[in-house]
Amino acid sequence: MAREGRETALAGIGATEFSKRSGRSELQLAAEAVKAACDDAGIAPAEIDGLVTFTLDPSDEIGLIRCLGVRDLAFTTRIPGGGAASVATLHQASAAVAAGAAEVVVCWRAMNERSQLRFGQPQAGGAFAPGSGTSSLLWCMPFGAQTPGAWAALRARPYLDAFGVTNRDLGRVSVVQRGYAARNPAAWFHGKPITLEDHQASRWVVEPVLRLLDCCQESDGGVALLVTTLERARRLRQPPVRIVASAQSIPAEVEVISSYYHGDLTSMPEAVGTAERLWARSGLGPGHVQAAMLYDAFTPQVLMQLEAFGFCGRGEAKDFVADGQLALTGRLPVNTHGGLLGEAYIHGMNSIAEGARQVRGTSPNQAKDVEHVLVSCAMAGAILGRA
Amino acid sequence: MEASRLSTSTRPDPIETPDTAFFWAAAARGELAALACADCGELRHPPRPMCPACHSTRRVERRLSGRGRVLTWILPRHPAPIGFAEPPVVALVDLAEGIRLVSNLVGVAPEAITVGMPVEVEFAPTTSGRAVPVFRPVR
């Protein structure tokens, strides 16, 4: 399918350090990350004319452009659904630039998610009102499912049971990603690989699905991504990372994390929908992708996305992982920065930055002969490629 | 305070919204209810103010049998859920009428739970004297 509008590129990536206590405001983290993305691209912050973030981000656009010295914003939007917004920010920034609504759009996410509002702590009150994109969480709270881990485990278990996936199988995802993190100086778990035995010895968070080492971190930090036209990106500081295709998919009755209402829970319809659109728009398939960054708040999500995108058959992801295919020597290196488990939990945005590094050839765990990288948060995805 | 408002339960109260209040009001009466479209009859959960099949906004509450089967379950251990002395068994229950609820399984040890196990509803009080539907294996 021919692409509509102008070609777009991810021309700059920026981040703060990833920590457990940043010691500064979330707005400051956002401003630092955006400035870093501008510096990476070689664009003055004043040239930003579009901003995209999550509905959940605590900083506002006006506060941010006051920091950055932006003259006049032409385009803003916010995306619901927690981490499902991550790759959707890139998709919508790309769509805005392709359509000519803006020229330099920055996507950001910044939070003190460990030192201020901890997502991993239980909540029983009304914080999950409609508008968060996860409105049916209200059906979970009075039953004691009050954390992302509980919601995700209840969602994942029918898949795990249908295909005989054990917690030990999930542990292999964690082990390979912590291996990547161990070699990534920016990762919180730099220098701290784990073994499968370490994983199996970690305490149950949600029995019998998730142990501690199946769960992402809680992190302080910020990440920003600068999107502009491919034509302009060719004249900027970095080798351009082309946004070959991008897509969202929110199928009927599917929710973000408490997704229990769409019938068959042994597959991930939102990732299947995203995959269909990405392959159709790009003319590519799973065989054309040399690395993938798959949203990994919890290990089962990695297996389900591998199947949805067709990297292996239904029920085969546990064997794909056990055969070592997620390693640098395997067929599809996955989450080579360490993922949200190993590097940091910046709500998926740091995984998009790693996708860009793989295309540029600057990953701390560089895959070989990279032409295309998939970045996915299931409800949205993008294929990044060499220009 | 009315006697009926007194509760020793520490279970969190339901979060009520305009479109879900009927469900919790029914639970407080000891009834399990779902919304059906008043025009085409389609039953739906989670509830919503418009029928996705015929777009009618006319709706009726339908009382359900309270019988269903366990689809899956988990034990949230850490961090401890607010309001529960022991980790509750959180389950998905497929009701006989064809809709699915998040709920708790009571009166059964985790190791005795099987997928497809038949269960029936009962009601558990919450901290302010409201109630939520929970499920117990059919004897």
pLDDT over 90 percentage in chain A: 91
Do the Cβ atoms of A3 and A87 come closer than 8 Å? no
What is the complex's ipTM, to 2 decimals?
Answer: 0.95
pLDDT over 70 percentage in chain B: 95
Q: What is the CA radius of gyration of chain B?
A: 16
> C-alpha A102: how far from its chain's center?
24
What pLDDT does A131 receive?
47
Under the banding of pLDDT at 50, 70 and 90, the label for residue A354 is: very high
Distance from CA of A196 to the nearest CA of B (A): 21
Q: How many contacts does A have with B, using Cβ atoms within 8 A?
A: 119
Residue A341 scores a pLDDT above 50? yes
* Mean pLDDT calculated for residue range A233-240: 97
Using CA atoms, how far residue A331 sits from A289, A303, B114, in Å, is 9, 15, 37
A23 touches chain B (CB under 8 A): no
Nearest by CB to A130, from B12, B17, B79: name it.
Answer: B17
Residue B100 scores a pLDDT above 80? yes
Residue A273 DSSP SS3: helix
Contacts of A18 (CB under 8 A, 6+ apart): A186, A187, A188, A219, A220, A221, A343, A344, A346, A350
* Predicted TM-score (pTM) above 0.90: yes
Residue A2 scores a pLDDT above 60? no
Each residue of A258-275: pLDDT tens digit?
999 998 999 999 999 999
Residue A91 CB-half CA count within 13 A: 27
Task: Name residue A111's beta-bridge partners.
Answer: A221
Nearest by CB to B88, from A124, A126, A143: name it.
Answer: A143
pLDDT over 90 percentage in chain B: 89
Distance from CA of A32 to the nearest CA of B (A): 33
What pLDDT does A135 receive?
64
- Is residue A261 part of the annotated active site? The answer reads no
Q: Which residues in chain B have their CB less than 8 angstroms from residue A158's CB?
A: 71-72, 92
User: Pairing between strand A50-54 and A105-112?
Assistant: parallel
Under the banding of pLDDT at 50, 70 and 90, the label for residue A383 is: very high
B53 touches chain A (CB under 8 A): no
What pLDDT does A1 receive?
43
Using CA atoms, how far residue A255 sits from A90, A354, B25, B46, in Å, is 20, 26, 25, 11
* Mean pLDDT calculated for residue range B89-93: 98
The answer to whether B17 contacts A208, with C-beta atoms less than 8 Å apart, is: no
CA angle, residues A32, A352, A259, in degrees to nearest 5: 115
What pLDDT does A137 receive?
86
B104 touches chain A (CB under 8 A): yes
Interface of A with B in 226-255 (CB under 8 A): 252
Each residue of B34-78: pLDDT tens digit?
999 999 998 999 999 999 999 999 999 999 999 999 999 999 999
Under the banding of pLDDT at 50, 70 and 90, the label for residue A128 is: low
Measured distance CA(A312)–CA(A213) in Å, rounded? 24
What pLDDT does A123 receive?
76
What pLDDT does B6 receive?
55
The answer to whether B78 contacts A124, with C-beta atoms less than 8 Å apart, is: no
Phi and psi torsions of B99, nearest 5°: -115, 165
Average pLDDT, chain B: 93
Measured distance CA(A339)–CA(A347) in Å, rounded? 10
The answer to whether A139 contacts B82, with C-beta atoms less than 8 Å apart, is: no
Residue A124 scores a pLDDT above 80? no
Average pLDDT, chain A: 95
Q: What is the CA radius of gyration of chain A?
A: 19
What pLDDT does B114 receive?
97
Measured distance CA(A360)–CA(A197) in Å, rounded? 35
User: What angle separates helix A299-308 from helix A148-162, to the nearest 10 degrees?
Assistant: 50
